[in-house]
């Protein structure tokens, strides 16, 4: 650690010397000062002793930042996985969709904490500024801020009447119409109303199944916001905002954003969910018993694909259930109130947000409708079929027909509110301070780490056998939960100006978190993994294995077995009549039991039988098992820092910060170990900021000592894989971040944002990677990089302003480059996203008078594949017995950034 600290310090001093050498190039061309509120006070960006990237609406228009992904391109250390709405900073991030595990990068919109990163990419017409604070912000922000914080500040109502409309058209039949109107309603009272309507008719990915729509960024959404701002007497200010929005068939979180990069796994059983037969097996090229009955393949809408279309074109796919994203019931209310005393400001921030999110899609990734499994020579089914043909059996039997129409439903229904009150000094003395208290309450109901899975249409899953509750919707895996999260905190920070050049900072925060609620689980099986034990138990062991190849359409049909009692000469089989024709309910068999007492984190009372403790109940009407979860954690976090400003243009700082993320639950998985302990990080950072006449330099070097990372690791529960969170004992993240702006001549503006961020897991127990079907044992993850942490990120932008008679023409270009990243702690190639780069071009016409602006642009001008983030995948079997199951690589997944897009934007101000 000491050698790394020396390396970082040496690097930052060397870079500082390079910056100082530019001081001689003085001139009249200066760089605008940017004011931010990163430390809950208005300060110049260059005076804040924190690594921070800030983007005004004007800068976003100039460079072309219209989404969260664009923000990450220009922010060192920041990564965003748009398909799952997950953010990471310097290798610390949220690696799951389970909201019982907190995020690691906190998002604040107008000082109100929110759970969605998407809102940080709001339109520049509505968003005045986005501030991205890198590193733990455990004092002033606290909640979910172990990796960093994103502050979004809305454009506020104006003193004068103002109105603006914007229209954007792009490739893929995209339109976005925006408006804003603002002004006074009365003396001391102002209002702003804004909104947009966005549509995209053509998707970035083409479905080759006839009659099915394209997907990927197909969007139908709207938003409107109303704000009121009032001066209450001479000492008080009040501001309130209400926002409403909705999505339908939207791109972004949940919608199709990538592809599978390898051939389909055509094995009969899916290695991840072997409780149902794999739909893709219908596409197998295997013949004989390992294949399908010749001619039995049926595909929807006359589809003809027998392999993965993405192998020829990574923007093509073939499914039969279109993805449908729906965001409804969105209501967001935020209020700020400030009362100013002679030397103190008292500020209240509160608000309430809620939304319902539903995502439906095709879980088998094919258009296969059905196929038949061949019968083995001498099979029971074949014998019964022959007897039926000869009139000697009351029951017929034929090859089992597999319904391959698998779908999924992922949902999130949540609401939360929070209150914060803080007091801050406003005098000019050497001691400045801020102190406050925070309360947060969130109620959440939704699916676990994946979704609820079901077969569409009639199937044996609907009628489980042996007296189990009916399953009319055909769900074979149900896993969801409802939880309440409550967080309380008090905090304070002081800044002491010891001399004109030297300032010291100290801050503390105490946080107490509690989570409680109920998780639900049901698993129903209809495949070869369920029945082999059943048939011997029924006295049919002599008839061979309980598989589809042996029993065919009689698989799971106990009522028909009862009718075969005289045929088989087994009178006892008659007693099976009425026990059903369907699938097997495995819920109770797979539910966790304990022989070591009560399970930590589970509050349902235990029932002990023969030394085995059960802490769950099964609803006889629905067959769904449930158990209560409850837990808490708390922590003291804070910061210590020193800041040196020898002159008004130079600032250097050193800072220690401690961050914390609350414990988490693997909710919805019904696991033997549902709880993961809290995370902590110790951050050590030094920075240097300098303004020259034509050059602005921001440098930061950091080292993060990261403890107990809550890593999602799949575990095998019977015939299913379920995500569990384990604590990785020690990890580290370190690096250097550089941001520079250079104006060598008045018309030319050049920027460079670069981040170097090596990461490494340094201590962990051995873990089993169940997505690796070749290496089956426990492996070491020590030495693996942290997930979603590319070692190198760079963004270079240049703009040149041509001063013409009628106005200014600004031409610009951006180059982006990002190195490889990994999706999981195992650091395997099949979990990686490749390195990539991108070129964007942009031109703005800004006529004299400022009434309107016209922007023409090309994003991804070279039409290269970009990878927003790494996506977890699998290493698959190489089965020597089945030629069609011999794979030279894994089942890789890739999330793509958009292809080449041409666009035109017109802004008009009244």
DSSP 8-state code for residue 3: H
CA angle 228, 239, 139 (to 5 degrees): 150
Q: Which of 266, 218, 225 is nearest to 242 (CA)?
A: 225
Could you give the CA distance from residue 200 to residue 173 in angstroms, rounded to a whole number?
6
Q: What is the pLDDT of residues 336-349, one digit of tens each?
A: 999 999 999 999 99
Confidence of residue 21 (pLDDT cuts 50, 70, 90): very low
Residue 398, token pair as written in the block: 């034929």
Q: Which of 34-48, 395-409, 457-471, 601-615 has the lowest mean pLDDT?
A: 34-48
Q: In the chain, how many H helices and how many E strands?
A: 9, 53
Close Cβ partners of 253 (under 8 Å, ≥ 6 residues apart): 82, 83, 84, 85, 118, 325
Q: Is the pLDDT of residue 13 over 50?
A: no
pLDDT for 8 equals 39
Asked if residues 562 and 537 have their Cβ atoms less than 8 Å apart, the reply is no
Could you give the CA distance from residue 652 to residue 688 in angstroms, rounded to a whole number?
4
Does residue 533 or residue 471 have the better pLDDT? 471
Q: What is the pLDDT of residues 143-175, one digit of tens each?
A: 889 999 999 999 999 999 999 999 999 999 999
Q: Is the pLDDT of residue 9 over 50?
A: no
Place of tokens 């100290």: 506
CA 722 centroid distance within chain: 17
Indicate the burial class of 222 (C-beta count within 10 angstroms; 0-12, 13-18, 19 or more): middle
Residue 107, token pair as written in the block: 């998002």
Q: How far is CA 211 from CA 15, 174, 258, 319, 565, in A?
A: 58, 22, 21, 11, 48
Close Cβ partners of 17 (under 8 Å, ≥ 6 residues apart): none
Confidence of residue 12 (pLDDT cuts 50, 70, 90): very low
Close Cβ partners of 506 (under 8 Å, ≥ 6 residues apart): 493, 494, 638, 639, 640, 641
Does residue 2 or residue 449 have the better pLDDT? 449
CA angle 71, 76, 77 (to 5 degrees): 100
Beta pairing class for 607-609 and 612-614: antiparallel
Could you give the CA distance from residue 418 to residue 99 in angstroms, rounded to a whole number?
17
Mean pLDDT confidence for 596-613:
92
Could you give the CA distance from residue 315 to residue 256 in angstroms, rounded to a whole number?
10
Could you give the CA distance from residue 613 to residue 345 in angstroms, rounded to a whole number?
56
Total Cβ atoms within 10 A of residue 668: 28
Listing DSSP states for 417-473 in one string gives EEEEEEEEE-SSSSEEEEEEEEEEEEEEEEE-SS-EEEESSS-GGGS-STTPPP-TT
Mean pLDDT confidence for 756-772:
92
pLDDT for 878 equals 61
pLDDT for 31 equals 62
Listing DSSP states for 280-347 in one string gives GGGG----GGGS--TT--EEGGG----S-GGGT-TTEE--SS--EEEEEEEEEEEEEEEEE-SSEEEE
Could you give the CA distance from residue 412 to residue 253 in angstroms, rounded to a whole number?
12
- Secondary structure of residue 884 in the 3-state scheme: helix
Please state whether 142 falls in left (phi above 0), alpha (psi between -120 and 50) or beta: left
Close Cβ partners of 821 (under 8 Å, ≥ 6 residues apart): 79, 785, 787, 788, 789, 790, 832, 833, 867, 869, 870
Close Cβ partners of 176 (under 8 Å, ≥ 6 residues apart): 123, 166, 167, 168, 196, 197, 198, 199
pLDDT for 724 equals 83
Mean pLDDT confidence for 362-377:
95
Q: Is the pLDDT of residue 615 over 90?
A: yes
Q: What is the pLDDT of residues 809-826, one digit of tens each?
A: 999 999 999 999 999 999
pLDDT for 802 equals 96
Could you give the CA distance from residue 735 to residue 756 in angstroms, rounded to a whole number?
5
Evaluate the CA torsion angle 536, 541, 543, 547 in order and state its sign: positive
Mean pLDDT confidence for 126-131:
94
Q: CA gyration radius for the chain?
A: 30
CA 462 centroid distance within chain: 32
pLDDT for 19 equals 34
Does residue 3 or residue 537 have the better pLDDT? 537
Around 93, how many Cα atoms within 13 Å sit in the side-chain half-sphere?
29
Biggest distance spanned by C-alpha atoms of the chain:
105
pLDDT for 886 equals 64
Confidence of residue 904 (pLDDT cuts 50, 70, 90): very high
Mean pLDDT confidence for 373-401:
96
Mean pLDDT confidence for 557-584:
93
Please state whether 227 falls in left (phi above 0), alpha (psi between -120 and 50) or beta: beta
Q: Which of 153, 148, 134, 145 is nearest to 509 (CA)?
A: 145
Does residue 254 or residue 414 have the better pLDDT? 414
Mean residue pLDDT of the chain comes to 91
Q: Is the pLDDT of residue 406 over 80?
A: yes
Q: Is the pLDDT of residue 571 over 60?
A: yes
Q: Is the pLDDT of residue 677 over 50?
A: yes
- Secondary structure of residue 62 in the 3-state scheme: helix
pLDDT for 535 equals 87
pLDDT for 770 equals 83
Does residue 881 or residue 701 have the better pLDDT? 701
DSSP 8-state code for residue 875: B
Q: Which of 92-96, 532-536, 601-605, 889-893 has the lowest mean pLDDT?
A: 889-893
Total Cβ atoms within 10 A of residue 72: 29
pLDDT for 26 equals 32
Q: What is the pLDDT of residues 841-880, one digit of tens each?
A: 999 999 999 899 999 999 999 999 999 889 888 877 666 6
Q: Is the pLDDT of residue 882 over 80?
A: no
pLDDT for 28 equals 32
pLDDT for 267 equals 83
pLDDT for 215 equals 94
Q: How far is CA 692 from CA 15, 21, 42, 44, 752, in A?
A: 14, 10, 22, 15, 16
Q: Is the pLDDT of residue 519 over 70?
A: yes
Q: Is the pLDDT of residue 775 over 50?
A: yes
pLDDT for 1 equals 44
Could you give the CA distance from residue 51 to residue 391 in angstroms, rounded to a whole number?
83
Close Cβ partners of 391 (under 8 Å, ≥ 6 residues apart): none
Listing DSSP states for 544-602 in one string gives --SSHHHHGGGTTBHHHHHHTHHHHT-GGGGGGTTS-BS-EE-HHHHS-EESSSSPTTB
Evaluate the CA torsion angle 250, 840, 738, 155 in order and state its sign: negative
Asked if residues 444 and 491 have their Cβ atoms less than 8 Å apart, the reply is no
Q: Which of 419-423, 665-669, 857-861 has the lowest mean pLDDT?
A: 665-669
Mean pLDDT confidence for 641-663:
96
Mean pLDDT confidence for 89-110:
91
Mean pLDDT confidence for 632-640:
96
Q: Is the pLDDT of residue 395 over 90?
A: yes
Total Cβ atoms within 10 A of residue 164: 17
pLDDT for 877 equals 66
pLDDT for 753 equals 97
pLDDT for 532 equals 87
């Amino acid at each position: 650690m000491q050698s790394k600290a020396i390396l970082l310090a040496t690097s930052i001093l060397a870079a500082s010397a390079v910056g100082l050498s530019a001081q001689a190039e003085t001139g009249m061309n200066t760089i605008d000062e940017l004011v931010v509120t990163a430390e809950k006070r208005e300060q110049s960006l260059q005076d804040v002793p924190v690594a921070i990237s800030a983007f005004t609406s004007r800068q976003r228009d100039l460079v072309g930042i219209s989404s969260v992904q664009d923000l990450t391109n220009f922010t060192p250390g920041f990564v965003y996985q748009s398909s799952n709405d997950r953010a990471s900073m310097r290798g610390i991030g949220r690696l799951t969709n389970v909201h019982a595990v907190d995020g690691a990068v906190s998002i604040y919109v107008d000082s109100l904490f929110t759970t969605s990163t998407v809102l940080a990419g709001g339109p520049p017409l509505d968003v005045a500024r986005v501030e991205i604070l890198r590193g733990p912000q455990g004092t002033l922000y606290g909640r979910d801020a172990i990796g960093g914080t994103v502050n979004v500040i809305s454009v506020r109502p104006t003193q004068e009447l103002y109105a603006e409309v914007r229209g954007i058209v792009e490739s893929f039949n995209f339109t976005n119409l925006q408006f804003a109107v603002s002004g006074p309603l009365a003396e001391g009272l102002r209002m702003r109303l804004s909104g947009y309507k966005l549509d995209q008719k053509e998707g970035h990915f083409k479905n080759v199944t006839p009659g099915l729509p394209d997907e990927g960024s197909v969007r139908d959404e709207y938003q409107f916001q109303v704000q009121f701002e009032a001066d209450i007497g001479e000492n008080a200010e009040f501001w309130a905002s209400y926002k409403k929005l909705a999505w339908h068939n939207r791109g972004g979180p949940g919608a199709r954003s990538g592809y599978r990069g390898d051939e389909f796994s055509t094995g009969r059983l899916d290695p991840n969910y072997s409780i149902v037969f794999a739909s893709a097996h219908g596409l197998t090229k295997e013949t004989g018993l390992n294949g399908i009955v010749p001619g039995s393949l049926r595909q929807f809408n006359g589809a003809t694909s027998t392999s993965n279309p993405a192998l020829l074109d990574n923007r093509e796919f073939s499914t039969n259930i279109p993805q449908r994203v729906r965001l409804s019931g969105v209501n967001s209310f935020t209020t700020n109130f400030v009362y100013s005393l002679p030397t103190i400001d008292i500020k209240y921030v509160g608000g309430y947000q809620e939304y319902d999110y539903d995502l439906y899609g095709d879980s088998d990734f094919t258009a296969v409708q059905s196929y038949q499994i061949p019968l083995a020579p001498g099979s029971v089914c074949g014998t019964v079929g022959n007897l039926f043909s000869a009139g000697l059996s009351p029951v017929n039997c034929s090859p089992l027909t597999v319904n391959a129409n698998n779908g999924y439903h992922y949902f999130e229904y949540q609401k939360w509110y929070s209150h914060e009150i803080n007091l801050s000094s406003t005098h000019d003395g050497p001691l400045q301070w801020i102190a406050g208290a925070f309360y947060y309450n969130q109620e959440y109901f939704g699916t676990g780490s994946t979704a609820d899975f079901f077969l569409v249409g009639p199937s044996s899953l609907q009628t489980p056998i042996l007296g189990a509750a009916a399953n009319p919707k055909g769900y074979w895996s149900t896993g969801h939960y409802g939880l309440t999260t409550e967080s309380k905190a008090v905090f304070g920070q002081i800044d002491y100006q010891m001399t004109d050049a030297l300032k010291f900072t100290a801050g503390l925060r105490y946080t107490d978190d509690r989570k409680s609620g109920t998780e639900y689980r049901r698993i129903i099986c209809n495949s070869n993994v369920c029945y082999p034990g059943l048939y011997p138990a029924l006295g049919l062991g002599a008839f061979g294995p309980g598989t589809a190849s042996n029993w065919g359409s009689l698989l799971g049909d106990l009522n028909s077995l009862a009718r075969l009692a005289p045929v088989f000469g087994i009178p006892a089989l008659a007693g099976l009549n009425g026990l059903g024709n369907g699938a097997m309910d495995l819920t109770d068999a797979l539910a966790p039991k304990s022989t070591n007492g009560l399970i930590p984190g589970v509050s349902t009372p235990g029932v002990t039988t023969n030394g085995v403790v059960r802490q769950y109940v099964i609803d006889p009407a629905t067959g769904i098992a449930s158990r209560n979860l409850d837990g808490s954690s708390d922590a003291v976090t804070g910061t210590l820092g020193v800041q040196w400003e020898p002159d008004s243009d130079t600032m250097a700082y050193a800072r220690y910060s401690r961050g914390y993320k609350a414990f988490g639950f693997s909710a919805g998985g019904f696991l033997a170990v549902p709880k993961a302990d809290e995370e902590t990080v110790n951050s050590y950072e030094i920075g240097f900021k300098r303004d020259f006449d034509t050059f602005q330099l921001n440098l930061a070097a950091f080292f993060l000592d990261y403890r107990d990372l809550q890593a999602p690791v799949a575990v095998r529960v019977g015939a299913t894989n379920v995500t569990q969170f384990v604590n990785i004992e020690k990890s580290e993240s370190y690096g250097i971040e550089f941001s520079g702006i250079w104006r060598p001549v008045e018309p030319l503006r050049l920027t460079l944002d670069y981040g170097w961020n090596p990461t490494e897991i340094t201590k962990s127990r051995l873990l089993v990677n169940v997505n690796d079907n070749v290496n089956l044992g426990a492996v070491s993850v020590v030495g693996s990089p942290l997930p979603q942490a590319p070692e190198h990120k760079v963004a270079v932008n240049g703009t040149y302003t041509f001063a013409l008679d009628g106005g200014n023409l600004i031409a610009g270009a951006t180059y982006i480059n990002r190195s490889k990243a990994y999706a999981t702690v195992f650091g395997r190639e099949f979990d990686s996203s490749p390195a990539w780069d991108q070129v964007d071009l942009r031109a703005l016409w800004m006529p004299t008078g400022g009434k309107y602006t016209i922007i023409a642009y090309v994003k991804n001008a070279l039409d290269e594949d970009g990878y927003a983030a790494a996506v977890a995948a699998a290493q698959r079997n190489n089965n020597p017995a089945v030629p069609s199951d011999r794979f030279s690589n894994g089942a890789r997944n890739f999330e793509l950034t958009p292809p080449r897009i041409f666009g035109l934007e017109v802004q008009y101000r009244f």
